[in-house]
Structure 1
Amino acid sequence: MSNLEAVAQRVLTPLILDEPGTIALEDQAAIATWVQKTALTAMLLSSKEQRENGYGLAPSEYRALYERRELVQPLDFSQFWVGRFEGVKGFSAVRVTPLTVRIPDFPEPPLPQGYAMTIVLGALLLHGVRFTTPGLQADTTTELGMPPLWPSETSVMWPAGQTCTEKSLLALADGGTLRATGGEVRLQPWSHAAHLPQSAFENGAIKVPALCRKHDIYYPAALLQEAHQGRFYAFMTSCECSAYLIHTDSDRIRFRAAGEPEGIAAMYADMVGDEFLIEDQIGEFACKRLPA
């Protein structure tokens, strides 16, 4: 693991700082493995109870990656791309989304058959997909035209392809830009994880199901009215399972991060934007106006 971190620091630091560079062919396997290791590690931040209820990745993924540590290669049936991100300075995120392989005229399978991995570090975007069901893997490309990091047969020049913005990041992280190169197979987020029930108006506030699916979170209706006017905000909230960093958008709220309260508070404090206090039936509610 320390060797992976050393390679990642050496190769990726200039790209994170938005300095054009090259990922040499001999470093690409290690970087792809680092992406997968980082994504799997991020999923361990969920509580034991959440993992027992299906949130997270199967233990077999961790065992398989450990067993091939001598190879310094990502798991079989994995593909990775590298691109450029343009957004709030210093922004970073890790997101893992379960995916299903959809075949026309067949219903959605009861369990996911793969997952998308997305890491943003400054100006650097790393994106990957891993198929976990034998026989259902597919060669894929991305709509952004990002160069392949793994498998690859040549050095990768960075930046290349279409720049990903904050607006397009969520679709990319949900696997929305992945396309199978042959046949009519489609990749889609697993509905059970990606589609939460709709929000509701309750006691003067907007009630939204939390990511844990066990609790609800609330935010002032005034933020919904602001969103209808094209003004969006970030705020912190929590349930019994986790703390959350949330952004409002034109048609929904977006969970940007989940984790321990201290970490979410630090992310909120680092955000650029004027802070406002809204008083409603719940009490005082702090939020930051997002840059236009």
Structure 2
Amino acid sequence: MPDSCAFCGSIEPLTREHVFGQWVSKIGLDLSPVRHQAGPLNGLPRDMGEQPPYRQTVKKFCAACNNGWMSQLETAAQRVLTPLILGESGAIEPEDQALIAMWAQKTTLTAMLLFSKEQQKAGYGLPQSEYLAFYDGRERMQPLEASRFWVGRYDGTAGFAAVDVTPLTVRIPGVPEPDLPQGYAMTIVLGELIVHGLRFTTPALEVDVAMDLGMPQLWPSRVSVSWPAGQPCTEAAFRRFAAGEMLRSTVEYVELRPWTGATELSRSVVVDGNVKLPALCGKHFLYYPISLAEEAFRGIFNAFTMACECQTAYLIQTESDGAHCKAAGTADWISEMYEDLPGDEVLIRDQVGDFVCKRLPAEAMTVAI
């Protein structure tokens, strides 16, 4: 059976669509080749090689969608987004705000189709119902219902671009986490522009939300929005930002949290005085002293670097609910991230041997950096 169009379901021949519209590569951004990656949140990303940016495509849409309403949306978005991407300050008028939010959601849905069929079968990507609902509402020229969007400035490495999605759940104390996520955070970085969105896939659970960085809400909004405004998202804070950790429910006793099934590894276990932690590669394990886990229970947190047999380096940080992998990549890159962290380096000596880590100051765990 032939593949069908991700949006309308047509079985007409499929065409290629750029994740970022072709216009993005023609507005003056740096086009030096960069490494492209795509993959699950709690696994090593799929390395897609080094290539010029903004050229990635997916073959998932029929010609009627690709050359019709999708093309029209990109043309309209180019006018509004180009000055923001290039860092030109100004105002975003109400008539353009829905357009930016719709473009961000369409770009997110397109990017999630970069996952392989195997990864999608394993639960990565977004539900088909999101694509069908987006298609059904395309003529309204606005994002899906129960969506919120914020807009701000990205202050990080030049040439970095990303589309990031984190599944979320709405949590109430004493109620178990659901088997499936109830929404997702989406983040797009292009040049100096960052767009952050939140979509409740279970609309009945939609709650009011505030943004920690004070970025203005783009949608829904009925007033002109200044850009840039609020605190910029730095490179160091991007991971937390994209994970939705800077969105706060304004409803008492209700929280938004990343869905454990997508963002957390299997539980660690204690083996011979060490904590055994699964590596992101899914093949190997990392080991660190149990004393670090005991300190985390007392509110003392540490960061350290490790590498698995795949020669992938990891930056690990202990938190109150366990150890979390903050980044994975080359040894040099992970070492630089570790060196940039605040705190004093300490040497732990126990029956297992010597272990070096960095004790993090309390404020590093509670504020955006």
TM class, shorter-length: 0.7 to 0.9
Answering whether residue 274 of structure 2 is matched by residue 197 of structure 1, we say no
Aligned partners of 1:6, 1:154: CA distance in 2, in Å? 24
Deviation (angstroms), 1:81? 0.3
**Alignment match of 2:95 (pick from 17, 26, 46):** 26
**Alignment match of 2:254 (pick from 182, 185, 196):** 185
Answering whether residue 202 of structure 2 is matched by residue 133 of structure 1, we say yes
Change in 2 beyond 3 A, CA 1:253/1:110: closer
Answering whether residue 280 of structure 2 is matched by residue 210 of structure 1, we say yes
Change in 2 beyond 3 A, CA 1:246/1:142: farther
One-letter amino acid matched to 2:152: G
Q: Secondary structure at the match of 1:75?
A: coil
Q: Secondary structure at the match of 2:175?
A: coil
**1:59-94 CA distances to partner (integer Å, 9 max, x unpaired)?**
000000011111111000000000111111121111
Comparing 9-18 with 69-78, which one deviates more in the overlay?
Answer: 9-18
Q: Secondary structure at the match of 1:13?
A: helix
Q: Secondary structure at the match of 1:216?
A: coil
One-letter amino acid matched to 2:280: A
Report the counterpart of residue 139 of structure 2 in structure 1: 70
Q: Secondary structure at the match of 1:135?
A: helix
Comparing 53-62 with 177-186, which one deviates more in the overlay?
Answer: 177-186
The answer as to whether partners of 1:116 and 1:175 remain within 8 angstroms in 2 is yes
Aligned partners of 1:253, 1:246: CA distance in 2, in Å? 10
Q: Secondary structure at the match of 1:188?
A: strand
Deviation (angstroms), 1:199? 8.3
One-letter amino acid matched to 1:190: W
Matches for 1:148-167 after TM superposition, within 5 Å:
148-167=217-236
The answer as to whether partners of 2:313 and 2:331 remain within 8 angstroms in 1 is no
Change in 2 beyond 3 A, CA 1:110/1:253: closer
Aligned partners of 2:111, 2:86: CA distance in 1, in Å? 22
Deviation (angstroms), 1:209? 3.5
Answering whether residue 4 of structure 2 is matched by residue 4 of structure 1, we say no
Aligned partners of 2:182, 2:336: CA distance in 1, in Å? 36
TM-score by length of 1: 0.73
Aligned partners of 1:115, 1:194: CA distance in 2, in Å? 12
Aligned partners of 1:107, 1:231: CA distance in 2, in Å? 32
**Alignment match of 2:105 (pick from 4, 26, 36):** 36
Deviation (angstroms), 1:255? 5.0
Aligned partners of 1:142, 1:164: CA distance in 2, in Å? 12
The answer as to whether partners of 1:197 and 1:209 remain within 8 angstroms in 2 is no
**1:92-146 CA distances to partner (integer Å, 9 max, x unpaired)?**
1111000000012211111110000011112111001000113111121111111
One-letter amino acid matched to 1:172: F
**Alignment match of 2:185 (pick from 88, 91, 116):** 116
Change in 2 beyond 3 A, CA 1:198/1:122: farther
**1:4-63 CA distances to partner (integer Å, 9 max, x unpaired)?**
212322212222222212212111111101111111111111011111121111100000
Deviation (angstroms), 1:250? 5.8
Identity over aligned residues, as a percent?
53
Aligned partners of 1:163, 1:231: CA distance in 2, in Å? 27
Q: Secondary structure at the match of 1:44?
A: helix
Answering whether residue 179 of structure 2 is matched by residue 107 of structure 1, we say no
Aligned partners of 2:252, 2:331: CA distance in 1, in Å? 50
Aligned partners of 2:249, 2:122: CA distance in 1, in Å? 30
Report the counterpart of residue 271 of structure 1 in structure 2: none
Change in 2 beyond 3 A, CA 1:107/1:13: same
**1:131-187 CA distances to partner (integer Å, 9 max, x unpaired)?**
011311112111111101100011111010111111211111111111122232100
The answer as to whether partners of 1:208 and 1:218 remain within 8 angstroms in 2 is yes
Aligned partners of 1:286, 1:46: CA distance in 2, in Å? 26
Higher relative contact order (CA 8 A, sep 6+): 1
TM-score by length of 2: 0.58
One-letter amino acid matched to 1:154: V
Aligned partners of 2:264, 2:182: CA distance in 1, in Å? 17
Report the counterpart of residue 274 of structure 1 in structure 2: none
From the CA coordinates, give the structure whose radius of gyration is larger.
2
Aligned partners of 1:247, 1:27: CA distance in 2, in Å? 41
Report the counterpart of residue 49 of structure 1 in structure 2: 118
**RMSD after superposition:** 3.4
